[in-house]
Structure 1
């Protein structure tokens, strides 16, 4: 079973009573007109902002318009929790005309693999704030588009950062190569970071640059390169469960580079910005991301996480997750790579 079909735990129970996730998938024109008469201006602004081209007289338009209304009702609930400092806010974003099921099926493609509990030593004397972007070793935010390839983006993101930390020029490496060739995974239909890492370690496949093997947002035929071909091969990786030990996870990030992680991102469909402190479960992860830093200097310490949904989502493509309490399952699985 792919991660995009993982059971909907927190938000379905909490939000489902307010808005039915499947409701916007089947709607008559008359029902759409009667229920959405007051939201035409907002929906029109949304369509213009995100270049939605569906015909105003089509069934698609009516269905998407009702999905949009359902999203605005979810936002009321998600924003109803106490406003703690820098709390996350939820509202209109590129996913607001998708049903919750469509969003899960299209964008949440990570399979959750259990990792052993971390049993190593904590790193002493960690800085209160650390961000690998400050060292110019984190590549720009990418957009996986309508392809469940987050698992590949997280792994490739970690590898290209660690390569740059080692002194090489920062380059975008090929996510499409991993999508097409990682035989343990299912391309755009989902996969696991650990499966991709195991494949890279066992085969010693050298990742080529994105310019040489560009991203197409669909599963294709694997292109093979000779063993003498340049670029980077994975030597090893270390994946652990840091739940209850997020300080140790901080040490791994500082010592080894950005970490490939798996999270519960169901509520992220509506995320606008700020620090996520609610609406996320652990042990039901469905989306892979790259943890690039943390900031524990303020009242609410948080992880700095690069996503793969483009820069028009979240904090210019990033999401902040409260440290401590394993929010969104951020500590359930985190992997460091070694080149």
Structure 2
């Protein structure tokens, strides 16, 4: 099925997944070392983290510092909340190195060079809603986890195509990130990539196959051409939202899910849980 153009907004780097299992805590959990250790044990059980006793004591000190950070930020009246994610006993350096690193020059996205096919299709869109949640409209698949593979670019690209497919056909199909990781030669698989290149691959290749046909492995593999030749969804182009234009971005996200990459190396994103809906 041919879906026409869809939107790309490029900010910097990674998808951060695995939010669904974030673990909350109460003020009284911080009252003593003993209570903090109990919190660490409950967090470990919740995330099925298994470590030997020596490693647990080492990680407990990191965990304590991270709990303090989450507690402090949540009391700063910011427009988002943090919780104890599965990364809560990792330093920020460890987290960024394992989950937010890339060998690809994502800085290219900031150069102001317009990319895409055609003009900005939503330029004349009006009557914007006060808020929009594409999950509630059934245009977003369930949470996926990229694992220790720098494939954020593939997930960001795929979710945009899944969303516009749902809008155009009323059918939500989970598509294959692994096909992009293995077969898109313009990107570098688990070493990173750019959504623009992925969209161009999907366009030139005649579409993208389903996740169930080419399941995600969280590692680089050889391209399976037999699976690649069974596309489920096609596109004929993509567009960039005009840079530094919040009004254009509002028009875009009011009309469809967009592909976004962010720098996920910061400590707040290591523990990000939820934010208020974008208000117009």
TM-score bin, normalised by smaller chain: 0.7 to 0.9
1:79/1:89 contact within 8 Å kept: yes
Aligned to 1:78: 73
Describe the shift of the 1:3–1:163 C-alpha distance in structure 2 as closer, same or farther (beyond 3 A).
closer
Residues 201-229 of structure 1 show CA distances to partners (whole Å, capped at 9, x for unaligned) of: 3x324311111100111111111138863
Q: After superposition, where does 1:93-132 map in structure 2 within 5 Å? A: 93-109=85-101, 111-112=106-107, 113-114=109-110, 115-116=112-113, 121-132=123-134
Aligned to 1:217: 218
Aligned to 1:249: 249
Aligned to 2:233: 232
Instruction: Note the C-alpha offset of 1:132.
Output: 2.6
What are the ranges of 5 or more consecutive residues in structure 2 without an aligned counterpart? Answer: 1-11, 15-32
2:13/2:261 contact within 8 Å kept: no
- Partner SS for 1:177: helix
Aligned to 2:45: 48
Tell me the TM-score normalized by structure 2. Answer: 0.74
Residues 251-307 of structure 1 show CA distances to partners (whole Å, capped at 9, x for unaligned) of: 12233x2100122332211223334xxxxxxxxxxxxxxxxxx542xxxx6xxxxxx
Instruction: Note the C-alpha offset of 1:122.
Output: 4.7
Instruction: Note the C-alpha offset of 1:109.
Output: 4.7
- Partner SS for 2:61: helix
1:180/1:222 contact within 8 Å kept: yes
Aligned to 2:17: none
Aligned to 1:174: 176
Instruction: Note the C-alpha offset of 1:49.
Output: 1.2
Instruction: Note the C-alpha offset of 1:171.
Output: 1.1
Instruction: Note the C-alpha offset of 1:116.
Output: 4.2
Higher mean C-alpha deviation, range 60-69 or range 219-228:
219-228
Return the alpha-carbon distance in structure 2 between the equivalents of residues 134 and 226 of structure 1: 31
- Partner SS for 1:238: strand
Equivalent of 2:162, from 160, 171, 181? 160
1:68/1:97 contact within 8 Å kept: yes
Describe the shift of the 1:102–1:226 C-alpha distance in structure 2 as closer, same or farther (beyond 3 A).
closer
Return the alpha-carbon distance in structure 2 between the equivalents of residues 233 and 205 of structure 1: 6
Tell me the TM-score normalized by structure 1. Answer: 0.62
- Partner SS for 2:169: coil
Return the alpha-carbon distance in structure 1 between the equivalents of residues 237 and 95 of structure 2: 33
Describe the shift of the 1:49–1:230 C-alpha distance in structure 2 as closer, same or farther (beyond 3 A).
closer
Instruction: Note the C-alpha offset of 1:241.
Output: 4.2
Equivalent of 2:36, from 32, 39, 63? 39
Return the alpha-carbon distance in structure 2 between the equivalents of residues 3 and 295 of structure 1: 20
Instruction: Note the C-alpha offset of 1:105.
Output: 2.0
Return the alpha-carbon distance in structure 2 between the equivalents of residues 197 and 226 of structure 1: 18
Return the alpha-carbon distance in structure 2 between the equivalents of residues 147 and 228 of structure 1: 24
Describe the shift of the 1:136–1:270 C-alpha distance in structure 2 as closer, same or farther (beyond 3 A).
closer
Instruction: Answer 1 or 2: which has greater strand percent.
Output: 1
2:213/2:227 contact within 8 Å kept: no
More relative contact order, 1 or 2 (CA 8 Å, 6+ apart): 2
Aligned to 2:260: 261
Aligned to 2:5: none
Return the alpha-carbon distance in structure 2 between the equivalents of residues 149 and 158 of structure 1: 15
